[in-house]
Amino acid sequence: MAKKHVLIDIRPLLNKQISGVQVYTENLLNALKKDKTNKYTLYYNSFRKHNFSHLEKYFPIEHTKIPNKIFNIILKLKLIKIDKLIKTNFDVLLCPDLRPTCLSKNIKKIQVIHDFSFISHKEFFSKKTRAWFKLLDAETEIKTGAKIISVSKATNSEYLRLFKKGPPGEVISPFIKNYKFSKQNQKKYFIYVGTLEPRKNLQTIIKVFKKFHKTNKNIKLLIAGRENKQIFKGIKKEKSPGIKWLGQISEKQKEEYLKKAIALIYISKYEGFGLPVAEAISIGTPCLISDIAALKETAGNCALISKNEKRLLENMKELMNNEKKYLELKNNCKIQKQKWRHKLILNKWLKLFKDI
């Protein structure tokens, strides 16, 4: 089989704040570095050089130094092509998220789509981000792909609905870090992990927890994550007994907090996959989720579904008081995490590179 040379756009890794797309991209690279079938080169554009020493051990890195605002505009105006900017000859450009691109006709583009909130839920974003998506013209970027990769069946269904004449689509789940399955059952706190933004429905989590806390004074709610007001609208951080705002936490801290939690509460109004849900399940922590397709797909039988505030409160109480149900969900996590076996997902990517 002929080797493919894949250029991977790592511009998502330039953001200072940890995001789901960053974690997705790092996990993808961590898996691809084991592949000896194809050749991979990483690429980013930034006026200054960034430290990617952890990646340089495994991949050559190409770096252009055009100011990003100018770079994005000239790409959108098709004044320059990425393959003409760099020294490396490549067959395929892999884009882990939506960014301006311009390529020669012989180069194939694989575009990963995490969700379509930029189309269906513009109200969640800041004015600056809405302006960015307008400049980006995401619909056009999607249509220039040779293959569209959705992170879930739910996102793929949305893609097929929105882009009836778009490029062929395929579902490839994200790589989930191979956490050690936890047998702990301390029941000291519930936890939320993720960006602090309106879409995540944190105000409802807090409102329901305050009711729960009246009769469960020894149980806390931990909220881990930071606001990213450059992209999303902000939220009100409410101080209340039993609620602890952790701020941004490291990957190691996240693992420790998740494995000791009663459950991850993740009742988003909209998701494309729900990475924290998959991470919690991989560790062995049940989840409380909202009644939306992507989260139900990701959680499988490892979660209780909360259609409203009343049901969320009942579900919190059930996980506290019904040990049989709690252990059932925890045991189901062992089955669900098999869907994210690295070898299974890697083989899908290798087949894609071969066939494109």
> What's the rounded Cα separation, in Å, for the pair 69 and 124?
23
Class of domain 5-176+341-355: alpha beta
**Contact status, residue 153 vs residue 171, Cβ threshold 8 Å:** yes
**Per-residue pLDDT, 139:** 86
**Which pLDDT belongs to residue 1?**
52
Cα separation, 350 vs 2, in Å, equals: 12
Asked if residue 97 lies in contact with residue 36, where contact means CB atoms within 8 angstroms, the answer is no
Contacts of 327 (CB under 8 A, 6+ apart): none
- The pLDDT assigned to 83 comes to 96
Question: 5-176+341-355 and 189-339 share one CATH topology?
Answer: yes
Q: Three-state SS across 151-171?
A: CCHHHHHHHHHHCCCCCCEEE
pTM: 0.92
pLDDT value for 236: 62
Question: Quick one: which H or E segment has residue 92?
Answer: strand 92-95
Q: What is the pLDDT along the chain (356 residues), one digit of tens a residue?
A: 579 999 999 999 998 777 889 999 999 999 999 999 999 999 999 999 999 999 999 999 999 999 988 999 999 999 999 999 999 999 999 999 999 999 999 999 999 999 999 888 888 888 888 888 888 888 889 999 999 999 999 999 999 999 988 999 999 999 999 999 988 777 789 999 998 888 899 999 999 999 999 999 999 999 998 865 544 344 566 678 899 999 989 989 999 999 999 999 999 999 999 999 999 999 999 999 999 999 999 999 999 999 999 999 999 999 999 999 999 999 999 999 999 999 999 999 999 999 99
Rounded Cα distance, 114 and 172, in Å: 11
Where do the structural domains in the chain lie, given as residue ranges? Answer: 5-176+341-355, 189-339
Would you state the pLDDT for residue 294? 98
User: What fold is seen in the domain 189-339?
Assistant: Rossmann fold (3.40.50)
What pLDDT score does 187 carry?
Answer: 79
